[in-house]
Structure 1
């Protein structure tokens, strides 16, 4: 069996431009981990990264709230935007708790992430989750069920294809790969966006899964490099355009998506570096 057949993720890591993206990300992450503030106040950086990452992921899903509004709010059960922000915040808090399960059963983690994102349907009110969508929480969607994912307009795979591709992705992850963390994270993110496996919040779950890979791989063990911030900063149009490259399945398209995810991580690093600098100055 060839190396590419045995470890297809490793083959992606060798695509033109990808090694450079991987190296650039590694250098950026090493710099922020070496910041003097990290030695004393890393837990504060982790908490702030989770907050900013959640705000950014919600913005990509159409709920573009100011950071201070997200920080100030305590009730996220109102309109659809509030529920999206609340879902993103819950995912940000949950992701780091699921690392050991992810290594053994990624599908269980994805189900848990969707359950966490959906929250309690009974609290959503008249404009909230219907009984039909409540029954769909935590499981792959079925044919005929409506999918609410406002940013991604690509054709939806059928339910059988979703299940098959999810199982294939899980098998790849459990088997392990020599591919860099950035490559694995980008593939997990892109595949979940392509499948939109849940009736709601698939984009939020995809970005949370990317975060889990980056943390669990050891690239970002303290969860201080919020790629979601970078994805939002690069913009919705660039996100969709890069994702189209993933959907194409071509070497150039896949490399472009991986490089886009790398730039997002680097911008997340820049965000947390700014937080470190603010803490050092006593301004935050």
Structure 2
């Protein structure tokens, strides 16, 4: 069967960008602090990723000293971050179920109708099914490339109509773990996306356009964000000793 994503590897610069992203992330996993387990790096990365993801969607990313988070977007992003490890088996087996669960967690304080939580909008089912097939094995492209496609497709599709950005970025983290690129979930590409917010949004819009140039722009942006996210993680590991 033809791999639907294989042609993307032929786009100019993609193969090199994918390898560079992989090498950067693998290097973080080989840092002495992370070879000993990496739990401290992973825990800090999870919180930083959630805060950055919420900020991208306009939330105040600061966590109050009393830890009583009142911003509904940040609260949702933190709940999703806490669930990533437990959702991994579901993501590998039934991605649509994992997406629904993440939406329940991310949008619980954002929607008036609780019955809408976890329910994809009408007309999005076919594309979500295609995306699910990619996640569970319909493609064998390297993890960074699949991660970029998952991230970009969910941003473009906006499957739930609320908290879609938080869900998309969490799904990207799950994909990095599931594909073995970042098995300990140490990196923080979300911070790189936040720091270059206009470029992130422009690249996402380019991907959504469906043009070859747009897809290329998005994939290269995502691979670069993974590299920068690896540098963030290295800083955490070095601080932890």
Same fold (TM over 0.5): yes
Which range moved further: 35-44 or 14-23? 35-44
Deviation at 1:105, TM superposition (A): 0.9
Number of residue equivalences? 241
1:248 maps to 209
The root-mean-square deviation of aligned C-alpha atoms, in Å, is: 1.6
Distance in structure 2 (CA, Å) of the matches to 1:102 and 1:137: 18
Aligned in 2, Cα 1:266/1:137: closer, same or farther, shift over 3 Å? same
Q: CA deviation at 1:196?
A: 0.6
Residues 113-262 of structure 1 mapped to structure 2, 5 A cutoff = 113-119=102-108, 124=109, 129-130=111-112, 132=113, 134-141=114-121, 159-160=122-123, 162-234=124-196, 236-262=197-223
Q: In the alignment, which residue of structure 2 is the partner of 1:33?
A: 29
Residue 101 of structure 1: how far off its partner (Å)? 1.3
Q: CA deviation at 1:114?
A: 0.5
Say if 1:105 and 1:170, in contact at 8 Å, map to a contact too. yes
Matched, 1:11 2:4: no
- Greater mean alpha carbon deviation, residues 33-42 or residues 50-59: 33-42
Quote the residue 1:106 is aligned against. 95
**What is the CA–CA distance in structure 2 between the aligned matches of 1:270 and 1:241, rounded to whole Å?**
23
CA deviation map 1:57-83 (0-9, x unaligned): 011010142xxx32735222x3xxx11
What is the rounded CA distance, in whole Å, between the counterparts of 1:73 and 1:229 in structure 2? 24
Whole-angstrom distance in 2 between the partners of 1:9 and 1:174 = 14
Larger Rg: 1
1:71–1:227 distance in 2 versus 1, CA, 3 Å: farther
Conserved? CA contact 2:40–2:240, under 8 Å: no
Mind listing any 5+ residue stretches in structure 2 that lack a counterpart? none
2:41–2:233 Cα contact (<8 Å) kept: yes
Deviations 1:82-107 (A, max 9, x none): 11111111111111221221122111
The offset of 1:248, in angstroms, is 2.0
Q: Deviations over 1:134-170 (max 9, x none)?
A: 22101112xxxxxxxxxxxxxxxxx22x111111211
Any idea what the Cα deviations from partners look like across 1:197-242, whole Å, max 9, x if unmatched? 11310110000000000011000000001221121122x2111111
Partner of 1:147: none
Residue of structure 2 in register with 1:52 after alignment: 48
TM-score by length of 2: 0.94
- CA separation of 1:272/1:72 partners in 2, compared to 1, >3 Å: closer, same or farther? farther
